[in-house]
Amino acid sequence: MFASSEARYNQWVRDHYRFLFRSAWALTGSRAMAEDVVQDCFTNAWKCRDQLREPALARAWLFQIMRRSIFRHLPPCQIALDEDEEDTRAAPESGIDDRLDVVRGLGRIAPIHREVLVLHYFDDMPTAQIAEALEIAPGTVLSRLARARQALKAAVTSPPAPREEAERSSNVTALKRV
């Protein structure tokens, strides 16, 4: 029985780790914090796995748990990117600058906007599953996406505040596909 349970847990982690890690990293801006959050998410989810009503909605359910774990890990109003993980390699293509701008912009917008953008664009989650993951109506997802796009555009095109510019220059990390 123990081996079967362990095998099921390992399969569950293999199936959902990349999605949760990418989402956590994009939402927190920190690889280390994302790793902690995802580990907590799997621990909490496995303890409460009998609460998952539909296995097809496991991804949205896990995102809910991961999202709550992020709220527990982040101090209020923290928008930080890793200091110790600066990517010093030369950019192989000019598109990397655009990606960095998007990552920086994600760090400058409200978490409510950041999470819908991450789920929709980074994780290709359909609107219905985003609604389930965030516990909101599908129409609300669409309106949040529209507002989030506007906020991201403003964050990418407007110059950062002087304090934010100093912080950003010392601790920017590209969001890498895991």
Give how far Cα 93 sits from Cα of 41, 107, 137, Å.
35, 23, 40
Q: Can you tell me the distance from the alpha carbon of 140 to that of 138, in angstroms, rounded to the nearest whole number?
A: 5
Query: With contact defined as beta carbons under 8 Å apart, do 107 and 164 qualify?
Result: no
pLDDT at 161: 64
Q: Can you tell me the distance from the alpha carbon of 17 to that of 78, in angstroms, rounded to the nearest whole number?
A: 24
Mean pLDDT of the region 59-64: 89
pLDDT digits (tens, 9 = 90+) for 76-85: 654 444 444 4
- The mean of the pLDDT values for the chain is 77
pLDDT digits (tens, 9 = 90+) for 31-51: 899 999 999 999 999 898 888
Which domains are seen in the chain, by residue range?
Answer: 2-73 (1.10.1740.10), 95-170 (1.10.10.10)
pLDDT class for 95, splitting at 50, 70, 90?
low
Q: Can you tell me the distance from the alpha carbon of 71 to that of 66, in angstroms, rounded to the nearest whole number?
A: 9
Query: With contact defined as beta carbons under 8 Å apart, do 114 and 27 qualify?
Result: yes
Q: State yes or no: pLDDT of 69 exceeds 50.
A: yes
